[in-house]
Structures are given as structure tokens and as C-alpha cells.
């Protein structure tokens, strides 16, 4: 697979919270159809056959017309930056192998990999790992490609949401284990705010309060979740979270 043109600067795509494109220090303006092509390639994470890409993005026309539209769209990407954004051959198209995507930062967060920064710019022994955690920047926040209603976006949007929630919970647990309770609460409460009915997020927050010795706050967190869960779904909390607060009550938790 070869570059369409040469380019010395790495590209960065931002899909979380909005679509944006940057090559080096320059923001790149793209047509709406070019944005859709690049977003599709970024979400695919691999080279895509031209027929598949064209047929997905332009299902209302013939295969030949769709391929023509794809070729036209690719060549409307600014020539000075095309080579930094796209790699193509006779049968496939891919996002450039060196291009960064803010969305990818979440894929490895639970394993302790680095995260993207708050606006999407992307930026062992225990001591070394702790130092890395101290330097963790905020994770990319927001919905994936908000306002885009394509089926291929909706699937990835839910995937991103789930990965983000799990990453927040994992970060909460890691910080709590190292005694960084403020950081742990920040991550855990963010997960709760994003999905108030998510028990695993509430459980992480309860665990932090217990680790700090704040029994009253642990009970308050549990009771707020129990009340919400019963009001919204008519359900009771699971045995796992009830077991956390049972020693504080001196009786089985409701």
C-alpha cells in the first residue's frame, strides 16, 4: 500500500466530542464526505476494500457510481496533507499508519497504557507504575461523533461508551490501590455521573470511601444507588455491593 502523496507531518483525528483533523500544527478543513471517509477508516482500524467502503457510504447508488464518488472524495482532501491521512492501493484504502486517533487511547487504558488528553490532542516495578499513574492525563470525554446517525457509527459509539466507563472504573481501582483517593473518587464519580444506574461504578466509589475509612460516605453512596435502582427499575442492588456495606450496618443490607 502506498501514500497518495508525500507528507512529512503526522496527522491526528479527533472523533470524541466532535470531528476534527490536524496535520502537524495545522487544522485541516475537509468536506463532509471526506470526514465520513476518514472516520470510517479510523473506526475500521484496518485497510478497507474500496467496494466495501464505497458501498457503505453511498448505498443509494450503483457500485460504479459509489466508487467514483469515493475516488472524487479522496482527491478533494487537500493535496498538501493527503499523504499524511490516507494510504491506498488498487483495492484497499486505509488511514495512514502513522495517523493518531483520540479514540484509540481508550483501547488499552485498563491495561495501564497512556490516554489521550482532555481535548483529544493525544498527547515493571510498582514505583515506576505509580509514577506513570501520577502523570495520567484526563481521558477523551464526550460522545463519539455526536450527531452522526450512520449505523456503523452507532455500533462504535456504544463500544466507545462501554470502554470509557470500564476505563474510568479501572483507573479508580488503580488509584485507590495506591492510596490516591482524590484521583480515585474523581474517576469513579465521573463513571457514576455518566451512567447513574451502573452498579460497578457505584461499587468502586463505595470501595474508595471504605479505603479512606469514611463509613458514612460509603453508606450514603450505597443508599443513593439503592434508592435510584428501586425507583427506576424496581430492582435491588446485587449481593456484591451489599456485601461491602454489610459490616457497617450490623445486619444484612437491603
Length of the chain: 254
pLDDT in tens, the chain (254 residues): 544 444 447 999 999 999 999 999 999 999 999 999 999 999 999 999 999 999 999 999 999 999 999 999 999 999 999 999 999 999 999 999 999 999 888 775 444 443 333 333 433 333 333 334 444 555 667 899 999 999 999 999 999 999 999 999 999 999 999 999 999 999 999 999 999 999 999 999 999 999 999 999 999 999 999 999 999 999 999 999 999 999 998 766 66
Residue whose grid cell is 507504575: 129
Distance CA 146, CA 168 (A): 21
Give me the residues paired with residue 69 across strands. Answer: none
**Grid coordinates given for 22:** 490536524
The strand order across the sheet containing 92-95 reads 2-3, 86-88, 92-95, 48-49
Amino acid at each position: 500500500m502506498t501514500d497518495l502523496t508525500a507528507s512529512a507531518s503526522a496527522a491526528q483525528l479527533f472523533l470524541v466530542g466532535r470531528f476534527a483533523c490536524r496535520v502537524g500544527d495545522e487544522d485541516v478543513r475537509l468536506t463532509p464526505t471526506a470526514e465520513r471517509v476518514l472516520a470510517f477508516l479510523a473506526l475500521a482500524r484496518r485497510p478497507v476494500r474500496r467496494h466495501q467502503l464505497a458501498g457503505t457510504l453511498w448505498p443509494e447508488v450503483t457500485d460504479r457510481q459509489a466508487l467514483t464518488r469515493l475516488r472524487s472524495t479522496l482527491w478533494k482532501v487537500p493535496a498538501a496533507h493527503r499523504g499524511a491521512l490516507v494510504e491506498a492501493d488498487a483495492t484497499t484504502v486505509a488511514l495512514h499508519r502513522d495517523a493518531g486517533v483520540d479514540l484509540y487511547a481508550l483501547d488499552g487504558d485498563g491495561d495501564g497504557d497512556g490516554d489521550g488528553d482532555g481535548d483529544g490532542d493525544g498527547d515493571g516495578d510498582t514505583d515506576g507504575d505509580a509514577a506513570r499513574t501520577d502523570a495520567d492525563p484526563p481521558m477523551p470525554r464526550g460522545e463519539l461523533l455526536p450527531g452522526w446517525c450512520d449505523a456503523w457509527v452507532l455500533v462504535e459509539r456504544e463500544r466507545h461508551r462501554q470502554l470509557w466507563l470500564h476505563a474510568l472504573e479501572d483507573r479508580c481501582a488503580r488509584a485507590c490501590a495506591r492510596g490516591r483517593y482524590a484521583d480515585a473518587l474523581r474517576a469513579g464519580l465521573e463513571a457514576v455521573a455518566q451512567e447513574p444506574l451502573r452498579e460497578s461504578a457505584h461499587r468502586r466509589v463505595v470501595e474508595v470511601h471504605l479505603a479512606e475509612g469514611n463509613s458514612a460516605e460509603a453508606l450514603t453512596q450505597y443508599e443513593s444507588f439503592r434508592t435510584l435502582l428501586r425507583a427506576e427499575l424496581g430492582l435491588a442492588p446485587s449481593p456484591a455491593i451489599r456485601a461491602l456495606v454489610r459490616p457497617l450496618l450490623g445486619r444484612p443490607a437491603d
